Amino acid sequence: MSLEYLLLPRLQVQAANAQAAWWLINAAPVMAATMFAHNLGRHTGILPVGVGIVHHDAQLLGEKGKMFYGRFRPQQRRGAVYIDGDDYSSKNKHALSLQPTASCHLTWSLLLAFDDSEGLPGTAKVADFLAGARLAGGQIVDHAKPLPLSTGEEVRRAIRSGFWLIERQDLMETDDGDPLDALIRATTLRHPPKIPDSLNIEGTASSSLSLWRAGVRGSNRDGNLPETELSPGGESLVPAYRESWIVPTTLGYAPITEFADRTGAREGYPHAYAEPLVGLVQYVSVNRYAESPPPLWRHAWLPNDVFVVTQQEV
């Protein structure tokens, strides 16, 4: 299949959902971005076959200070409209109940890929969609002009800065078969697993290639690679950093009940209760990622009604 691309540059998203799962907060809503691209396709009449995500900036909304014992506390909201008595706190009949939330501001570019036999959606339809669209529940307050692109080389020239979000399913595979332990190890180890050769990170030994090969996943606040030490054996040792290039996020849902007709289901579709499937993604500089074509996320149904977004062949 030959592809054409439509770049949606510098989408500025205000107050997007940062709660990827009930126990997980981050600024990498990959599932939402993939469904955003699908929604654009439904509105314009031409469905994309994949979407690439380029991260430029993110700001988690919250506070961190002495009153929170140095911990980050997301900003919370309370409803302002009375619906029924159940909306009020059981401890204070004058206060609305708190619904825990976590939000963030995002600046992303999305690269939508289309089958060239279908062509690209019209720019007017795309503009109309973006005027009222939301990404991860956040309002799109500004964006640059959508840009049609024909080849991977044009994509590389058009996207000059930022970080691709790529899937790291390989880090979830362990000999003992415990993916949760693998996730914790990949996001907390001082010296994480090395980046596989298949990732094909560009660079030279005199620059930062050796650092990436050694498994660098940290940076300082300026976005630069950290200085490294050498072990007695001459291997690069990567210091621990609070910022991490590898993050867990929701990449699918698995049903825990049978699909059935239920009262209140959206648009009357069969409904099932589900649990989120959490995987790992990594931020890789667009200047170092040398794969062609660009890394694209696709949604798919797996056996047993499991829905996922992935960069793997399904």
Mean of pLDDT over the chain: 79
Residue 267, pLDDT score: 87
Angle between helices 30-44 and 123-132 (to 10 degrees): 130
Q: What is residue 186's three-state secondary structure?
A: helix
pTM of the complete model: 0.78
Query: For residue 230, what is the enclosing H or E element?
Result: strand 229-230
Residues 6+ apart with CB under 8 A from 87: 79, 96, 97
Query: For residue 106, what is the enclosing H or E element?
Result: strand 103-115
Residues 6+ apart with CB under 8 A from 241: 218, 219, 220, 226
Q: Is the pLDDT of residue 192 over 60?
A: no
| Residue range 245-252: mean pLDDT, rounded | 92
* DSSP one-letter string for 13-39: EEEEE-EEETTEE-S--HHHHHHHHHH
Residue 79, pLDDT score: 61
CB 8 within 8 A of CB 125: no
pLDDT tens digits, one per residue of 251-274: 999 999 999 999 888 888 999 999
Per-residue burial over 71-100, b if 16 or more Cβ lie within 10 Å, else e, is eeebeeeeeeeeeeeeebeeeeeeebeeee
Residue type, 227: E
Q: What is the rounded CA–CA span in Å between residue 219 and residue 133? A: 33
Burial class (CB in 10 A: 0-12, 13-18, 19+), 145: exposed
CB 250 within 8 A of CB 276: yes
Per DSSP, 245 falls in state S
pLDDT tens digits, one per residue of 120-178: 999 899 999 999 999 999 999 999 999 999 998 899 999 999 999 999 888 887 777 78
Q: What is residue 259's three-state secondary structure?
A: coil
- Domain parsing of the chain, residue ranges: 166-282
Q: What is the rounded CA–CA span in Å between residue 16 and residue 136? A: 5
pLDDT tens digits, one per residue of 72-111: 788 887 666 556 656 666 777 767 767 788 999 999 999 9
The residues pairing with 252 across neighbouring beta strands, listed in sequence order, are 277, 308
Burial class (CB in 10 A: 0-12, 13-18, 19+), 42: exposed
